[in-house]
Amino acid sequence: MTALAPVARFLQFVRFSHTIFAMPFALGAMFVAAHGLPPVRIILPVVLAMVFARTAAMIFNRLADWSLDQRNPRTAARHLLVSRGAATAGCAVASACFIAATWPMNPLCFVLSPVALAIVFFYSFTKRFTHAAQFFLGLALAVAPVGAWLAVTGSFASPPLILALAVVLWLAGFDTIYATQDYEVDKREGLKSMVVWLGIPGALRAAQLLHAGTWLALAAFGWSAGLGLVYWLGLAPILGLLVYEHRTARSLDVNAINAAFFNANAWIGVIFVLTTYLDRALA
Q: Which residue has the higher pLDDT, 68 or 137?
A: 137
Q: What is the pLDDT of residue 252?
A: 66
Q: Give the best-scoring range by mean pLDDT among 81-85, 87-91, 159-163, 192-196.
A: 159-163
**Does residue 15 form part of some domain?**
no
**What is the residue-averaged pLDDT of the chain?**
90
Amino acid at 228: G
**Does residue 11 form part of some domain?**
no
**Does residue 178 form part of some domain?**
yes
Residue 187's domain comprises 25-281
Mean pLDDT of 3-20: 73
pLDDT band, residue 267 (cuts 50/70/90): very high
**Does residue 5 form part of some domain?**
no
**Does residue 200 form part of some domain?**
yes
What is the tens place of the pLDDT at every residue in 177-220? 888 888 888 888 889 999 999 998 999 999 999 999 999 999 99
pLDDT band, residue 221 (cuts 50/70/90): very high
Examine the pLDDT at 2 and tell me if it is beyond 70: no
**Does residue 247 form part of some domain?**
yes
What is the tens place of the pLDDT at every residue in 108-122? 999 999 999 999 999
E strand spans, 49-116: none
pLDDT band, residue 1 (cuts 50/70/90): very low
Query: b/e string for 67-90 if b means 16 or more Cβ within 10 A?
Result: ebbeebeeeeebbebbeeeebeeb
**Does residue 167 form part of some domain?**
yes
The rounded percent of the chain whose pLDDT value lies above 90 is: 68
Mean pLDDT of 12-24: 77
The rounded percent of the chain whose pLDDT value lies above 70 is: 94
- Global pTM reads 0.93
Mean pLDDT of 121-149: 95
Q: CA dihedral defined by 19, 177, 273, 40, rounded to 10 degrees?
A: -20
**Does residue 76 form part of some domain?**
yes
Q: What is the pLDDT of residue 78?
A: 76
Q: Give the best-scoring range by mean pLDDT among 75-89, 104-118, 185-199, 241-255.
A: 104-118
User: Are the CB atoms for 282 and 37 separated by under 8 Å?
Assistant: no
HSE of 166, CA atoms in CB hemisphere, 13 A? 29
| Nearest CA-CA partner of 90 in 186, 30, 25, 7 | 7
Mean pLDDT of 18-25: 81
CATH of the domain at 110: 1.10.357.140
Please give the DSSP secondary-structure letter assigned to residue 251: T
User: Are the CB atoms for 171 and 141 separated by under 8 Å?
Assistant: yes
Count structural domains, the chain. 1
